[in-house]
Amino acid sequence: MSLLSLRGVRKVYGENVVLDGFDLDVDAGECVVLIGASGSGKSTLLRCVNLLETVDDGVVELAGVDITDPRVDADKVRSGIGIVFQSYNLFPHLSVLDNITLAPIRVHGVRRDVARGRALEMLERVGLADKATAKPDELSGGQQQRAAIARAMVNSPQLMLLDEVTSALDPELVGEVLDLLRELKSEGMTMLLCTHEMAFARDVADRVCFLHQGRPLEVGPPAQVLDAPHEPRTQEFLRRIRT
């Protein structure tokens, strides 16, 4: 059974139909990469899964539970999903360490010293052990990105949503983040992420999903979707992105 399942998800902003009956399944341990033009709704889709947006129709199921049901405890659902935003969204008034320990301490009731220990381990993993006491605005873009990933991972979520995690990074750092994601994947983490970088998609994806006009126009292994797409729209998008 799939861990995450979207059925007929619809999201509308005013006149703008962003998601129009979106179907997608993500298996446990799988990494699905969303691609599509800017404004095609990739970020919106991730926010709907994380219940930061209420869907206008359709169902999102996480581990067999309909999380779009208004009766579910949205805070609890969110605390089991890690999301890394396109713009990091670290808390500027807190140190990197406090950014990471906020949720474990306040939401999960982890003891302060335990939470700190775990956060430091996580920082070690993302290569930021020496930045624990720094404020986010003292970090470079790539360091902020990795801190945000550490913050999302420290709750041991069952699903990670990653929005353009490499877009602000130079090639060397992209490699670092990529390694991190590969490692996560090898540990069995389920990931849904979006990117504009096809090399990145090819590298981490089990399946690639091309969004067009609010629907998953083409879904399949990267070798198929990226190298031999059936749909003329996908072909056009990939051609445009390469030039």
Partner 1 sequence: MSTWTPSELQRERIAYRRARARRSTLIAVVSSVVLIALVAVGIGSTPGWPRVRATFFDFHRGWEALPIVAQGLWLNIRVMLICAVLIVIFGMTLAIMRTLRGPIFFPLRVFAAAYTDVFRGLPLLLVIFLLGFGVPALQLRGLPNQAVIWGGAALVLTYSSYVAEVFRAGIESVHPSQRAAARSLGLTYRQTLRFVVLPQAVRRVLPPLLNDFVSLQKDSGLIAVLGVIDAIRAAQLETAEDFNFTPYVVAGLLFVALTIPLTRLTDYVARRQGWYGGGGGPV
The answer to the question of residue 28 lying near partner 1 (CB under 8 A) is no
Q: Which of residues 38, 172, 232, 240 is near ligand ATP by CB under 6 A?
A: 38
Short-list 101, 5, 98, CA closest to 58 = 5
Q: Is 89 helix (H, G, I), strand (E, B) or coil?
A: coil
| Residue carrying the six token digits 């624990």 | 132
Q: Which amino acid is at 121?
A: E
The answer to the question of residue 52 lying near partner 1 (CB under 8 A) is yes
Q: What is the DSSP letter of 206?
A: S
The answer to the question of residue 162 lying near partner 1 (CB under 8 A) is no
The answer to the question of residue 108 lying near partner 1 (CB under 8 A) is yes
Q: Whole-angstrom Cα distance, residue 218 to residue 208?
A: 8
The answer to the question of residue 109 lying near partner 1 (CB under 8 A) is no
Strands 31-35 and 16-27: unpaired
The answer to the question of residue 112 lying near partner 1 (CB under 8 A) is no
The answer to the question of residue 107 lying near partner 1 (CB under 8 A) is yes
Give the contact letters, 27-66, x = binds to Mg ion (CB under 5 A), - = no. Answer: ----------------x-----------------------
Q: Which of residues 67, 97, 103, 123 is near partner 1 by CB under 8 A?
A: 103
From ligand ATP, partner 1, Mg ion, none, which one binds at residue 127 (CB under 5 to 8 Å depending on kind)?
A: none
Least distance in angstroms from the C-beta of 53 to partner 1: 9
Q: Which of residues 113, 130, 137, 172 is near partner 1 by CB under 8 A?
A: 137
Output the 3-class SS for 110-174. CCHHHHHHHHHHHHHHCCCHHHCCCCHHHCCHHHHHHHHHHHHHCCCCCEEEEECCCCCCCHHHH
Angle between helices 96-106 and 141-153 (to 10 degrees): 20
The answer to the question of residue 92 lying near partner 1 (CB under 8 A) is yes
Beta bridge partners of 192: 32, 161
The answer to the question of residue 47 lying near partner 1 (CB under 8 A) is yes
Q: Which residues from 42-101 bind ligand ATP, rule CB under 6 A?
A: 42-44, 86
The answer to the question of residue 144 lying near ligand ATP (CB under 6 A) is no
Q: What is the contact surface with Mg ion in residues (CB under 5 A)?
A: 43
